[in-house]
Amino acid sequence: MIGRLFLRPVAAVLVALLALTTVPAGAAPEGAEPAAGPADVALDRLLGDVRARLPAACADPAADRLVGVLCSGRLRVGVRDTYPLFATEQGGRRSGYDIDVARALADRLGVVPEWVPVRPATRISTLAEGGADVVIATMGHNTRRDTQARFIRPHYYRSETIIVGPREVPLRGWGDLRGRTVCTTIGNYANAHIVSRDVRVMLFDGASRLPEALRDGTCRFAAHDDSFFASYLGSDGALQPGFERKFGFDPVPWGMAVAAAGSAELARALELVSQSMHRDGTFLSIARKTGIFTTFLEDQEQLWRSPACARTPTDCLIPALNTVPPPTAFASQVERGLAWSERHLGLSPALPMLLTQPAWDLFVAGIVNSMILVLGALAATLAFALLVGIVSALPFRATRLLSWLVVVALQSSPVLLTLVVVTAVAHVLFTYSAAVALGAAIVALGLMNGANAGQAIGEAAESLRREQGLGRKLTLPLFGAALIRSLTQILSFLVNAAKGTPVASFTGAPELLAALTDIMSFSAGRGDTYAIVLVFYIGVVTLVVWGCNRARAYVERRSLAG
């Protein structure tokens, strides 16, 4: 009796403890290995089926790559050599996240990894030529690459583009970046996003130059993959302690890939291994050991531990990033024209602005804005010339001194600096927009050239007074004569204003040079595109020169007739 009385509470406590420590299906307690999931079971079955066909299948040239891997006992993995924290090679020793993932994969397949060095340009071609069984080489998975190789999902990592800048400059989001310059690399998919936010870009050929450009002050901000910046921003990184990650955008899933043909079973095996490695936290623990960003892997671990993903894994997969911009309505005609040109003339200029809709929209807006800028700069130059001319021709010493000070200050400031000062003031008065940048550029160009032309008008009025013994009073006939006398100067400063308009791209005015730089940031064909800008602006300036010559001839005819 006493024993029963004693045993009942003990049993109750044991039952309660058991209930508390029981884990729901599909989840594992912290630090414990989860039980084998459906992916592990399916993998064992798949490997068992393939192994049952060996060794006879080893001699079959049409056999799947998985057969070759299991027959040779080696998994040939395409990896990079010089990508810090992900894949580096020093003295024959390879290390990094990609390398450790490859080792874990090979281990699950019961084989050993064999390294095949690849570069970004050779990652997919190596697979297509049979040089590697799988490539694990910091490769973003997008719809364009989907047609060239078979990507393994779930993805083994995800990077995003981050903005890196000085710690002392506060930057919370896109709003704080508007009108500023961000250094980035040519052809980066994320650049289209950057330029759509009224942010100017300074383009570099390769990412390796970005950290140096940040350090030597060439760039205040830079944008690139967080995976690239991870080693530079780490505790011993070259960008410490002055720089930090500001914010990220445009996440890109990274995929390991196998050849598009003849690798169905290998792909299936790797997909199952990837599901398992997310579920049991292998990817995450490798990432933590390597010191790379782990937010994505933490989310994926939670996701793949859920019963929903165990039931229907396809619902938990991330799609490839769609990087193919919509074509223009006339893209096919342009392509036919270019093909004809190459066949018959041997010329094949790159015209990215005609092939995709976003580029075409930027191009058309660039031409329209350039024309507005040129006409606006001419009008502003004329207006400021008349204003400064009147003030400097007035018979008061104070007004002449004022106009002299303005002219000297404007003459002393390089064009780029004047543009920046006027734009900075405009941004305080108005909310930043492309129209404000355009307006500020018109005012700056008008001020710089108009002040000089106005000074010439004032000097002409003074010389007329001396020659003709006129009084100090400024009359309309005197001002008209001063205008005619200083016509050459006025016209040359009008031409100068037109020539100076492309500089406005520096402060974010969306004219043609800025538009084509934006297009170039996510397209190819730089030389041809900048040649188009050069021809366009030479044409515009020539037109302005012609117009000025016509105006001069008209004024000379009128003054002769008068």
Partner 1 sequence: MSTLLDLLRSGYPGDLAAAMVVNFRIAGLALVMGLALGLPLAVGLAGGRGWRRIIAPVLGVMRAAPTFVVMFYLLNVIPHDLSLAGIDLAPSGPMIVALSLVPYAAAYGADNGGEALSSFRRGSVEGALLFLPNIVRAFFVLVMSSSTGAAIGVSEGVAVVLREADRWPQLGDKLIVFAIGVFAFGLVFQSGFALIRLAVHRIGRRHRRAAGSA
Chain positions contacting partner 1, by CB under 8 A:
168-170, 183, 202, 205, 213, 216-220, 408-409, 411-417, 420-421, 424-425, 428, 499-503, 505-506, 513, 517, 520, 526-527, 529-531, 533-534, 537-538, 541-542, 545
Report whether 360 contacts 353 (CB < 8 A).
yes
The nearer residue to partner 1, 119 or 336, going by C-beta atoms, is 119
Taking CA atoms, 372 is separated from 111, 255, 361, 375, in Å, by 67, 46, 17, 5
C-alpha distance from residue 90 to each of 93, 94, 139, 222, 235 (Å): 5, 7, 22, 28, 21
Nearer to partner 1, 261 or 543 (CB): 543
Contacts by 291-295, CB closer than 8 A, 24 or more apart: 291/85, 291/230, 291/234, 292/85, 292/86, 292/97, 292/157, 292/227, 292/230, 293/226, 293/227, 293/230
Smallest gap from residue 123 Cβ to partner 1 (A): 22
**32 vs 428, which CB is nearer to partner 1?**
428
Residues 6+ apart with CB under 8 A from 352: 359, 519, 520, 523, 524, 525, 529
Q: Rounded to the nearest 10 degrees, what angle do helices 434-468 and 476-485 cross at?
A: 110
Residue 521 Cβ, how far from partner 1 at the closest point, in Å? 12
Report the nearest approach of partner 1 to the CB of residue 454 (Å).
Answer: 18
In whole angstroms, the minimum distance from the beta carbon of 527 to partner 1 comes to 5
**In terms of Cα–Cα distance, which of 225, 222, 195 is closest to 210?**
222
Minimum separation from the CB atom of position 72 to partner 1 (A): 39
Q: How far is the CB of 170 from partner 1 (least distance, A)?
A: 8
**Closer residue to partner 1 (CB): 143 or 463:** 463
The closest alpha carbon to 253, from 319, 191, 192, 306, belongs to: 319
The CB-of-198 to partner 1 minimum distance in angstroms stands at 17
Q: Is the Cβ of residue 46 or residue 415 nearer to partner 1 in the bound state? A: 415
Query: For partner 1, which is the closer residue by CB, 3 or 170?
Result: 170
Beta carbon nearer to partner 1, 354 or 516 = 516
CB of 411 to partner 1, least distance (A): 7
Identify which of residues 364 and 424 has a Cβ nearer to partner 1 in the complex: 424
Token pair in block for residue 335: 């392509």
Q: Closest CB to partner 1 among 204 and 229? A: 204
Distance spanning both ends of the chain, measured CA to CA: 136
| Stretch (H or E) spanning 333 | helix 331-345
CA dist 554 and 168 (Å) reads: 58
Q: How far apart are CA 100 and CA 282, in angstroms?
A: 10
State the nearest-atom distance from the C-beta of 498 to partner 1, in Å.
8
Residue 55: is the preceding peptide bond cis (ω within 30°)? yes
The residue with tokens 């030529």 is 129
Q: Between residues 141 and 427, which has the closer beta carbon with respect to partner 1?
A: 427
State CA 9 to chain mean position distance. 67
- Spatial CB neighbours of 417, under 8 Å, sequence gap ≥ 6: none
- The distance of closest approach from Cβ of residue 382 to partner 1 in the complex, given in angstroms and rounded to an integer, is 20
82: which strand partners? Answer: 88
Q: Provide the minimum distance between the beta carbon of 468 and partner 1 in the complex, in angstroms, as a whole number.
A: 24
* Residue closer to partner 1, measured from CB, 128 or 534: 534
Sign of the four-CA dihedral 449, 454, 457, 458: negative
In Å, what is the CA distance from 354 to each residue of 190, 293, 331, 350, 510?
20, 39, 7, 9, 18
Taking the least distance from each CB to partner 1, the nearer of 319 and 414 is 414
Q: Are strands 149-151 and 257-259 parallel, antiparallel or unpaired?
A: antiparallel
Closest approach of Cβ 218 to partner 1, in Å? 4
CB of 428 to partner 1, least distance (A): 5
Can you tell me the distance from the alpha carbon of 537 to that of 114, in angstroms, rounded to the nearest whole number?
Answer: 56
Tokens of 419: 């543009």
Q: How far apart are CA 37 and CA 355, in angstroms?
A: 48
Comparison of 82 and 542: residue with beta carbon closer to partner 1: 542
Q: How far is CA 15 from CA 3, 6, 19, 20, 26, in A?
A: 18, 15, 6, 9, 22
